[in-house]
Structure 1
Amino acid sequence: MKITKKELEILEILEKDARLTAADLSKMIGEGEEETKAMIQRLEEAKVLVHYTALVDWSKVEARERVTAMIDVKVTPKRGVGFNETAERIYRFKEVSSVYLMSGAYDLSVTVEGQSMNEVARFVSEKLSVLDSVVSTTTHFQLKKYKHDGIIFEEKQSDNRIVVSP
């Protein structure tokens, strides 16, 4: 899809802050509010602007303990469909939050969320590894999130003490 400079501006602005209103966006890009709404609608209909989301630091919420794992998956591609059919089967599982086709040592990168490490392990052993085209998996559990989608989760505290030397 070919997009205009103004539509590109809208995408870049919304990627940083999706909570902005059409009125705010129209002022930022120098267009009328109705024209801005029409551009947003066009981007949504073309599935260029796919979803509006909030980034939450769940590690600070005691009531919601979650485990995230990144799984490297080696796959035997199928004639005529390559990796697409296997990727589709994997992303349909409710535990899966993302699937990417990768270059390098493995074929798919799968991100999975669960209530515990055991729940993720059961998913890998009972649902993912048993798929016909899956050759092998390597599971990496996320221990701490420092930065996600360009957002730093914990800024380093500056040391305001006076330096004293002997």
Structure 2
Amino acid sequence: MHLTDKEIEIMKIVEENARISVDDIAKMTSLTVSDVEVTLKKLEDSNIIVRYAALVDWSKVEEHEGVTAMIDVKVTPKRGVGFDETAKRIYRYEEVSSVYLMSGAYDLSVVIEGKSMNEVARFVSDKLSTLDSVISTTTHFILKKYKHDGTVFSPPEEDKRIVVSP
């Protein structure tokens, strides 16, 4: 779908801050509130804006116990559908948060979330590796997030420079 520069500008603003008001978007883009509302509706209806989400740093919540794993999956593609059918079967599992088609040594990258490493291991051995087209898997556990979707998770460092005045 071809989009105008203003539509792309609106998408970038909303992607950076999904809670921004329509009034503020209108001021930032020099459009009317009505134009912004129509554009947002168009982008939502065409499934370009898929959803609005918050980015949470779960490592700061003591009550949240859980692990995230990235699993590299080697797949035999099926005639006529390639990797799509296998990817669809995988992303339907409740534990799966993301599935990507990749270039390189592995075909699919699967991100899953579980309560423990054992739960992730059970998912891989009982569900993922039993799929007919899956040849092999390699599981990587995320130990710490430093940056996600462009957002740095650590607090900004203090400026330790000495103030010099004449």
Structure 1 length-normalised TM: 0.94
What is the match of residue 50 of structure 1? 50
In 2, the alpha carbon distance for the partners of 1:2 and 1:156 equals 38
**1:29-85 residue CA offsets vs partner (Å, 9 max, x unmatched):** 001101110000000000111110000000000111110000000000000000000
Q: How much has 1:156 moved relative to structure 2?
A: 5.5
SS at match of 2:71: strand
Read off the aligned partner of 1:6 and give its amino acid letter: K
Deviation larger for 101-110 or 19-28: 19-28
Letter in 2 for 1:93: Y
- d(CA) in 2 for partners of 1:35, 1:159: 42
What are the within-5 Å matches in structure 2 for residues 116-155 of structure 1?
116-155=116-155
How far 1:160 moved relative to its partner? Answer: 4.0
The answer to whether structure 1 residue 41 and structure 2 residue 37 are counterparts is no
Question: Using the alignment, how far apart are the partners of 1:126 and 1:64 within structure 2?
Answer: 25
In 1: Cα distance, 2:158 partner to 2:24 partner:
34
Q: 1 CA distance for matches of 2:24 and 2:161?
A: 42
Alpha-carbon offset, residue 86 of structure 1: 0.1
Name the residue aligned to 1:84.
84
Partner of 1:7: 7
Q: 1:158 offset after TM fit, Å?
A: 4.1
Letter in 2 for 1:49: I
SS in 2 for 1:131: coil
Deviations 1:106-141, CA, capped at 9 Å, x for gaps: 000000000000000000000000000000000000
> In 2, distance between residues paired with 1:87 and 1:9?
32
2:93 aligns to what?
Answer: 93
SS at match of 2:27: helix
SS in 2 for 1:125: helix
Alpha-carbon distance, 1:155 to partner: 3.5
> Which one-letter code corresponds to 2:89 in the other structure?
R
Which residue pairs with 1:18 in the alignment? 18
Q: Which amino acid aligns with 1:133?
A: S
Q: CA deviation at 1:22?
A: 0.9
Normalising by structure 2, what TM-score? 0.94
| Structure 2: tracts of 5 or more residues without a match | none
CA RMSD of aligned residues (A): 1.4
Distance 2:56 2:20 in 1: 18
Stretches of 4+ aligned residues off by more than 6 angstroms: none
Taking the aligned partners of 1:43 and 1:161, their CA distance within structure 2 comes to: 46
